[in-house]
Amino acid sequence: MNIPELVKTADGSDTLFVREIDEHYHSTFGAVQESMHIFIEAGLHQFDQASVNIFEVGFGTGLNAYLTALECIKTNQSILYITIEKFPLPSSIWNSLNYSEIVPEGNPLLFQMIHNAAWNEKVKITDRFSILKRSADLTDIDYSSFPMFDLVYFDAFSPEKQPELWETGIFLELASHCAHQAKLVTYCAKGVVRRSLITAGFTVERIPGPPGKREILRGTLE
Ligand SMILES: C[S@@+](CC[C@H](N)C(=O)[O-])C[C@H]1O[C@@H](n2cnc3c(N)ncnc32)[C@H](O)[C@@H]1O
């Protein structure tokens, strides 16, 4: 994949644009606003248990990991954040993202630590937040070394651009590595995705999306 281009979204936060597939990493209505709404509020905030294992599809800019680590500092929860990425970004790109300045109570050091954490090793970032960044392809991932997931941030590029990442088989495999009552959140509310999640064993809710997106999906594994 070519190096993506930095672009500004409507809430002032940066995102990246991949010209060859005509796709942004986040909503152009607001990258931080979207991540907060979908992954933090509709996802992480649904958990009050002492420890949460999160699995993210697509580490990308590290925005979801960063927002999750910031939330973790405010609570007593312990989080293990497992994330996979097929195309890790060069430091010249992630260093120029403005998330540390734009996010309230931002923490530039935390953002740097998340990005500088070695790939394919579990790294302790704070007392209660550890990250394991796996350089891997979702279509070819071996889940066996991971603990069971409580929460999945499904943040792949759209099904129009990468249909192979949204197939029922992907969700079935993921579900087999999720704890009872695990939740999966995604920005994509398409019927085909909803049906795949249901086939994989999730009860799926359509919930209101962030600005620019009428609905998003949240699945709960029964
Ligand atoms: C919509 S972007 C979101 C990234 C990230 N969550 C963020 O906030 O920046 C999708 C990400 O999935 C990654 N990706 C694409 N194909 C993949 C694959 N087959 N396996 C794992 N990751 C993939 C892309 O490189 C990109 O970083």
Domain spans of the chain, in order of start: 32-221
In testing the pocket of ligand 1, which one of 27, 115, 165, 185 has its CB within 8 Å of the most ligand atoms?
165
Tell how far the Cα of 105 is from the centroid of ligand 1, in angstroms.
26
Q: How far is CA 88 from CA 2, 65, 76, 114, 144, in A?
A: 11, 14, 30, 13, 22
Tell how far the Cα of 139 is from the centroid of ligand 1, in angstroms.
12
What integer is the mean pLDDT of 101-126?
96
Q: pLDDT tens across 23-74, in order?
A: 999 999 999 999 999 999 999 999 999 999 999 999 999 999 999 999 999 9
- CATH number, domain 32-221: 3.40.50.150
Tell how far the Cα of 47 is from the centroid of ligand 1, in angstroms.
24
State the pLDDT confidence band at 98, using cuts at 50, 70 and 90. very high
Q: What percent of the chain is predicted at pLDDT more than 90?
A: 97
Tell how far the Cα of 117 is from the centroid of ligand 1, in angstroms.
18
Q: What atom in ligand 1 is closest to the CA of residue 156?
A: 10
Residues within 6 Å of ligand 1 by CB: 25, 58-61, 63-64, 84-87, 137-139, 155-157, 162, 165
What integer is the mean pLDDT of 80-101?
97
Q: What angle do CA 163, 166, 172 make, to 5 degrees?
A: 145
**Strands 122-124 and 129-135, bridge-based pairing:** antiparallel
pLDDT for 3: 85
